[in-house]
Amino acid sequence: MKTPDLTKLDTILERHEAAERSLIQVLQDVQKEYRYLPREAFEKVGRHCGVSVARVYSTATFYKAFSLVPQGEKLVRVCAGTACHVRGAGLLLDELERALSLEPGKTSPDGKITLKTVNCVGACAMAPCVMIDGEAHGNVKPGEVVTLVKGGRRDAAAD
Amino acid sequence: MSTLVKIKIDEKEYEVPRGRYLLAICQENGIPIPTLCHHESVEPWGGCRLCVVEFRKKRWDSWWTELATACLYPAEDGLCVWTRSEKVMKARRTILDLLLARCPGSEVITKIAAEHGVYQTSFAKREGEDNCILCGLCTRVCDRVGARAIATALRGALKEVSTPFGEPPPDCLGCLSCAHVCPTHTIGHTEADGKRTVWGRTFELVRCSGCGAASVTREQVEYAVRTKNLSPEYFVKCDACKRRESAATFAGLLFDERKGGEGPVGPTGSGPSHE
């Protein structure tokens, strides 16, 4: 893995108070900027917030929103909550695993796409739900999920 | 000055400072309470739950009681506490049953469980080499020491005590405080040929110039010199040698006094020197 460009890290740190309570916000911004938490950043983040590298690692591994490995440019999250599960989230996941040759939680080798499951996105009324880059798509059918993920319009698939 | 309050523990009255934690009170008064995650050098944590006690507050109905961890429950006026009631023992047995499922190989837990009448777990045993109960005492003590080299990583069923990235910890001093306080003695460490290994990192030990014993790591010396304002000279000899020298100096001074020489210095003078 090549060393990430850490010049933007200083700009991120400048935006936040040098205190322990900023740690999560700093990590969120770093995650947003690099699409993961580069381990090279841990020491600097820790020093800024006055916490140990061990504490930064502890926080980074605790929250699911943080990742220690680079995430794909597109993040696809299939909701696997109870309502979505009952209404066929498993079928959507099978379909995506097959079409993208990816296991849930993994990123494609070209770094384009990451497939994940989440336990609930809070949109149970439109189950089964798929989040693509933060945008929720409801009532997704197995036949259209691949087109949807590849950026196509779903009515095109429905035809 | 803290206010004294009257509380009852196991039907016996005690006068204790308001706000003092029940576990501390029990320990001071020789009332046995089992605990795994408590250590006097760090703040109470309530991690292992074993010190659970039954209590009733002053204004509560006479039939109502609740359970709380003694290590974190502050004393207040009129509090009634029971440390070995049936409700307490039932809760402790469940906790020990769960701990036994987590660490079937731990002698310490097996022993405490047997003392409470739990001889085998009724849950599925966890598979794994270590006997970690995730009480976090090692990480709290490490923070207290100031090294801050270890912390818990991940969460839920995958939670573990870990160094950053699971690699040899750069901030570790090799002081072994974590291993010494671990209630289940599960933090592995070795010491041989003047080298100490813990958390996958090997430390070189500093030898005493007197007896040659190796007791502290180079990192510990550097850390103490940097943060505790101690001279590096302080670590040239080990504690045992320093004590021996003090004793010899002191004996010499007494001997001089008996001979009628200059004698030892007065009460304001310095103690035996370490030179």
pLDDT of B267 higher than 60: no
Minimal CA separation from B159 to chain A, in Å? 9
- Identity (one letter) of the amino acid at B246? S
Averaged pLDDT for residues A26-41: 91
Averaged pLDDT for residues B204-221: 88
Averaged pLDDT for residues B234-256: 85
Contact list, A55 vs chain B (CB under 8 Å): 148, 151
pLDDT of B273 higher than 60: no
Cα distances (Å, whole numbers) of residue A107 to A78, B92, B235, B268 = 14, 45, 52, 73
**Least confident stretch, A54-58, B177-181, B233-237, B254-258:** B254-258
Contact list, A52 vs chain B (CB under 8 Å): 143, 148-149, 151, 171
Distance (Å, whole) CA B5 – CA B79: 9
How many whole angstroms from its chain centre is CA A90?
Answer: 19
- Characterize the bridge pairing of strands A74-79 and A113-118: parallel
Distance (Å, whole) CA A60 – CA A43: 13
pLDDT on residue A127: 86
Contact A54 B165 (CB under 8 A): no
pLDDT on residue B275: 45
pLDDT on residue B269: 46
Sign, Cα dihedral of A80, A84, A88, A92: negative
Averaged pLDDT for residues A113-127: 90
Question: How sure is the predictor about B259, in pLDDT bands with cuts at 50, 70 and 90?
Answer: low
Cβ distance A67 to A99 under 8 Å? no
Contact B164 A62 (CB under 8 A): no
Q: Residue A57: which of B142, B155, B165 has the nearest Cβ?
A: B165
Q: Does B111 touch chain A (CB under 8 A)?
A: no
Minimal CA separation from A59 to chain B, in Å? 8
Q: Which two tokens stand for residue B173?
A: 């001093």
Minimal CA separation from A37 to chain B, in Å? 12
pTM: 0.81
pLDDT on residue B93: 97
Sign, Cα dihedral of B256, B260, B262, B266: positive
Averaged pLDDT for residues A17-38: 92
Q: Which two tokens stand for residue A125?
A: 């009324």
pLDDT of B256 higher than 80: no
Residue A101 φ/ψ region, left for φ over 0, alpha for ψ in the -120 to 50 degree band, beta for the rest:
left
Contact list, A56 vs chain B (CB under 8 Å): 164
Contact list, B136 vs chain A (CB under 8 Å): none
pLDDT on residue A155: 62
Cα distances (Å, whole numbers) of residue B48 to B15, B70, B96, B183 = 28, 11, 10, 10
pLDDT of B19 higher than 70: yes
pLDDT on residue B129: 78
Helix (H) or strand (E) segment spanning residue A10 = helix A7-15
Q: Does B150 touch chain A (CB under 8 A)?
A: yes
Q: Which two tokens stand for residue B139?
A: 């990480």
Q: Does A69 touch chain B (CB under 8 A)?
A: no
pLDDT on residue A149: 86
pLDDT on residue A5: 79
Residue B152: half-sphere exposure toward Cβ, Cα within 13 Å: 16
pLDDT of B238 higher than 80: yes
Buried b or exposed e, range B126-150, using 16+ CB within 10 angstroms: eeeebbbbebbbbbbbbbebebbbb
pLDDT on residue B27: 95
Contact list, B139 vs chain A (CB under 8 Å): 54
Averaged pLDDT for residues A49-62: 95
Contact B153 A57 (CB under 8 A): yes
Q: Does A49 touch chain B (CB under 8 A)?
A: no
Averaged pLDDT for residues B127-134: 89
Closest CA to B119 of B103, B102, B96: B96
Distance (Å, whole) CA A103 – CA B94: 39
pLDDT of B157 higher than 50: yes
Contact A52 B165 (CB under 8 A): no
Q: Does B157 touch chain A (CB under 8 A)?
A: no
Minimal CA separation from B127 to chain A, in Å? 22
pLDDT of A110 higher than 50: yes
For tokens 């209590």, the residue is B55
Neighbours of B243 (CB within 10 A): 12
Contact A54 B150 (CB under 8 A): yes
pLDDT of B265 higher than 70: no
Cβ distance B171 to B219 under 8 Å? no
**Least confident stretch, A1-10, A13-22, B152-161:** A1-10
